[in-house]
A and B are shown apart, each in its own frame.
Chain A
Amino acid sequence: MTRKLLVPLSILLVVAIVAGCKPAAKEPIKIGLQLPITGEYAYEGEGMTKCAELIAEQVNKAGGILGGRKIELVKCDDMGKPDESSKCANQLVSAGVVAVVGSYSSTCTEPASEIYNEAGILQVTPSSTATRLSQKGFKRFFRVCFLDDRQGLFAAKFMLEKLGAKKAVFLHDNSTYAKGLAEWAEKYYKEAGGESLLIDAINPEDTDFKPILTKIMELKPDAVYFTGYHPQGGLLLKQSKELGAKFKWVMGNACNNPELIEIAGLDAAKGCYVTTEPLPKDIPGEAAKKFYNDFKAKYGEPPASIWWVMTADALNVIVEAMKATNSTDPAKMAEYLHTEFKNYPGVTGTIIGFDEKGDRLGTVHRAYVITESGEFKLAE
């Protein structure tokens, strides 16, 4: 009996040994992609995924990195919800990723960052701008977007100086990002001499915001700064027009995409101001223009939201760190990004570098206004 099994067993053994001897250098590098592909922010999540895929495709077509290894994106949909975000983070950690691009909203990035930090994985968020995310001392957390305390300062100055708004109302939705931005903006607005009539939060699940809008109208502000996300921003614009509101709307950088205008209707959206990182068509530099055209060539239309392009740079940063340190060790990559990574020609403009907290240096915010034809035009 044993004699009969001996030959097949030894063949099996040899095959197993040979198969297990695959040269490790050709194994793909797993990079996690945690984004809200479904849910409230699907508009952003879908576009952000496309940008990441485009970059991965370009890198792989050029032969991969670290001796021909290809990048493999391991995706997880966090639906824009914090509990799903924790699930995704755990899932990606178990899948063995060395770095993660994600997430979109600060509400989701926050719990995920705790998990990634515990696991020692490098995390680069393309769009979570809440200042407190980088104040936890996480050594491997980075962001390619800018911070909300700066955006708040910018917004406050814009409203007072450019719009001449002496009285303002600040409206958020109680999320990490929105609340933070509204509070920063209100603080700087008051410090600069403005009068804050009200700071309140909407419920993002609501569809009818006329009650809060009616209340705001009664206070007669010159401007209202809404720091929530574009699905609610669109409805606010539409309904405030229906109520005949006369104040100026200024919205934060989660309302900086065309879906805002689609939901509000062009009639209601025109004349609305938005404070944000520069939009795709206004980014300086060759790399930016090239990416803009590559995206257009692959997907048939240019990237509509800056967060999509930020995702591309988040992935670029990770790839660059791997190339520079010739490894996939998150510790080495983080060290590199904190110290030697400088003046990288990113698709969102030159990335001057990261500070010791992982924040991108060289903050730039711009103010845009929505035109009659539904475009975002620089408003300065």
Chain B
Amino acid sequence: MEQLPQQIINGLTIGSFYALIALGYTMVYGVLKLINFAHGDLFMLGAYLGLTLIGVAIGAGMSANMLLSLVPILLAVMAIVAMVGVALERVAYRPLYRAGRLPPVVSALGASIFLQNFVMLTYGAKYRVYPKGIFPEVLWTIGGARLYLEQIIMLALACLLMAGLYLFVQRTRVGTAMRAVALDHDTARLMGIDVYRIIVLVFIIGPALGAAGGVMVGIFYGRIYFTMGWTYGLKAFTAAILGGIGNIPGAMLGGVLLGIIEALATGFVSDAWKNAIAFFILVLILILRPTGLLGERVAEKL
């Protein structure tokens, strides 16, 4: 049992990354009822762009102030990937809205393949590694669990971004407009909301958050790869469903929960069985609550 505190910290860390990426999935699904399969690859793109920019920063001799220069780098990566996200929506999804629910999904898969290969051809097929020592190595031990400064900052940043998003959606006019569009496009239009503008906004925020997650994963784990979007994306998408697809706090809860379930399953049963156990629990939860943990019961349209 002495591994429990450490496993909880492990789970929280893994889970917060899932949660950050799950937000992008859940937001796009909320307003468009579309599963943006390319979202994981935007996260991956963020990780690679972060690598490039950090490399540039180190080359320009900024390594002494790495912590400070991380903020502009993070913002720059988020901005660039947000632009890619907007372009993605414009090119791959918008022309297909009238074609039904399936064509945009196929288009999303195509976009995903395109992004992966683009990154592979640009950066090469081998693994890339983030430079080490970006964060000073400061360590705390709580109840037998080790917690690094790096981890705390990552967790805090993830929480900050998620809280910021939540407040934005709940408390601002634009956020309310977003929730309206998620409920019903036509009625929202009748209320004077420019639906397309809101969609573009979703494709700015979602990919930006994903990209931030990508840079953080790069710094934290060190090793990035052009198919990492697929693996993380799958888990994050699962987390979004677990929490209730379309529900922002649900995505956060789902992410963290999935991370903790994985960590505990590994620690107390077996790593080989971890995915089987985690998905078994997911299925159980969905049987009991089909719309996810925090999902709303949407009234049937008569």
Residue positions of A touching B, CB distance < 8 A:
37-40, 42-43, 46, 174, 200-203, 205-212, 214-215, 217-218, 231, 234-235, 238, 242-244, 259, 262-263, 265, 267
Is B221 touching A208 in the complex (CB atoms < 8 A)? Answer: yes
CB distance from A10 to the nearest CB of B (A): 50
A212-B266 contact, Cβ under 8 Å, with A200-B271, A231-B127: yes
Is B132 touching A201 in the complex (CB atoms < 8 A)? Answer: no
Number of A-B contacts (CB under 8 A): 94
CB distance from B32 to the nearest CB of A (A): 28
Residue positions of B touching A, CB distance < 8 A:
2-3, 6-7, 10-11, 13-14, 120, 124-127, 129, 132, 146, 148, 217, 221-223, 225, 227-228, 231, 262-264, 266-268, 270-272, 274-275
What are 23 A-B contacts defined by CB distance under 8 Å? Answer: A40-B225, A42-B125, A42-B126, A46-B126, A201-B270, A203-B271, A207-B221, A207-B223, A208-B10, A208-B13, A208-B14, A210-B13, A211-B7, A211-B264, A212-B267, A214-B3, A214-B267, A215-B7, A215-B271, A217-B3, A231-B225, A235-B223, A262-B129
Looking at the complex, which one of B2, B7, B148, B272 makes contact with A242 (CB distance below 8 Å)? B148
Q: How far is the CA of A212 from the CA of B268 in the complex (A)?
A: 9
Q: How far is the CA of A208 from the CA of B16 in the complex (A)?
A: 12
CB distance from A70 to the nearest CB of B (A): 28
Beyond A211-B11, A231-B225, A259-B127, 19 additional contacts (C-beta under 8 Å) are A42-B124, A42-B125, A43-B126, A46-B126, A200-B270, A201-B270, A201-B271, A202-B272, A203-B272, A203-B274, A211-B263, A212-B266, A214-B6, A214-B10, A215-B7, A215-B267, A242-B146, A244-B146, A263-B129
Q: How far is the CA of A263 from the CA of B225 in the complex (A)?
A: 12
Q: How far is the CA of A242 from the CA of B270 in the complex (A)?
A: 21
Is B10 touching A265 in the complex (CB atoms < 8 A)? Answer: no
* B-side contacts of A38, CB under 8 Å: 120, 125
CB distance from A81 to the nearest CB of B (A): 11
Q: How far is the CA of A201 from the CA of B271 in the complex (A)?
A: 6
Is A214 touching B7 in the complex (CB atoms < 8 A)? Answer: yes
Looking at the complex, which one of B125, B223, B267 makes contact with A39 (CB distance below 8 Å)? B125
